[in-house]
Structure 1
Amino acid sequence: MNIHNQQLIALSDGLYLDAFVVDDRDEVIFISLWARDGEMQHLFAALTLPITQGGYREKRVRLPDGNLQTLNLNRVKDMKKITTRLPRFTPVGEWVHTWLILPELMKTPYGSHEGWILSQNLLNWDALWPVVKTLCHLPLLDEWKNELAVLLHHSVKHLDAFGVFAYQLTLEPELIEPIIADAVKSGSLPIQTQRRTSYVYKGDAL
């Protein structure tokens, strides 16, 4: 089954998904769901009911490649719900499309050193670079981009996902500062003379 040429995966009878992202604990942080209104409301009810009363917090789905994926839905209460309805007359009837997404994925909190990117396309370091500069508390020069692709590779994590590509960027100051400082002192991250006096690391001019 396809809607707008996007393959759908059955989550349960009458309920489908076409994209999801999970973190390193298999917790769902984004999911795109399709169903008729009754099935969608049944899902939300099941996610709030105790397990003993027919509720659930976990689903296993089979991906197109044949692999099974566990989806833990424990964080649904923290997620923002965005819903739209398809036109009444479609090949599958009247359907509801719902996104559940953590608010942090929509807008990185000010001052945070952690951010997420969802994309329909695979992103390389060049595409991630503007976000890296925004998240890092130290000023990063554009001429450092290629060198930092190696030094900061551990700061970018590819999250398990289907239907989208997902990235988690974490630039913790206590980890980033010594990496940048050592690279500047060794000369692998060059600083032009006119910029030297303005680059400050922990209060000491480099």
Structure 2
Amino acid sequence: MSSSKKALVVDPFCFRQFDEHADSKKYGGTVFSLSVADFERIVNERFQSADLKDGYAPFCKHVFLVNDFTNARVNVLPITEENEHLIRTKYEARNDKELPVLARFFPQNLVGDDLPVAKYLDLILYSREQINKENASQGRDPNPASAPWNIVSIKAQDVPDELPMNPITAMRNSLGKAEGGSGVPLDRKAYAEAVNYWKDHAVIS
């Protein structure tokens, strides 16, 4: 299937979530063993435009797929008295264009590999127009793909609904495209809802 006939393509920013790419060795989130090409083929075969769900901005959408084609495990844990001592923090940037921000997480090596396989995958999509705007603002070459939607992140989870955006991600987005964000102003209500969720949860990284 050529990119001109695809509805969805994996954005280069998301390549770090695939084992075939060198950046996956430094990525602490979900990494897939199947290739980008195979992933794109499967998700495009299953994609229906009616499945698009609104995201945090008009250019952002979600597609939730039943995860029966990867071994991706859940990537978020509730914080309990038993595991709270395992939480770590660090300043990190997802690429050299971003400002580092403070992240809180459970180290994978401390929580172990005995985690359930995720029931769903949340494909987070950005429109072609938004991708082109962000590339231009950071001096990157235009993405040659012509598909209307780019997959910018993939979350492995147990619910077919969007988890609240991590508050630090919302803050990063509000910084603007030049600093690695999307330029969407902070929504105080959405931010408060996110804090209410993430004060009791942390990602595995």
| TM-score range relative to shorter protein | under 0.3
Taking structure 2 as the reference length, the TM-score comes to 0.24
- Structure number, greater radius of gyration: 1
Greater RCO (Cα-Cα under 8 Å, separation 6 or more) = 2
Provide TM-score, normalisation by structure 1. Answer: 0.24
More strand by share: 1
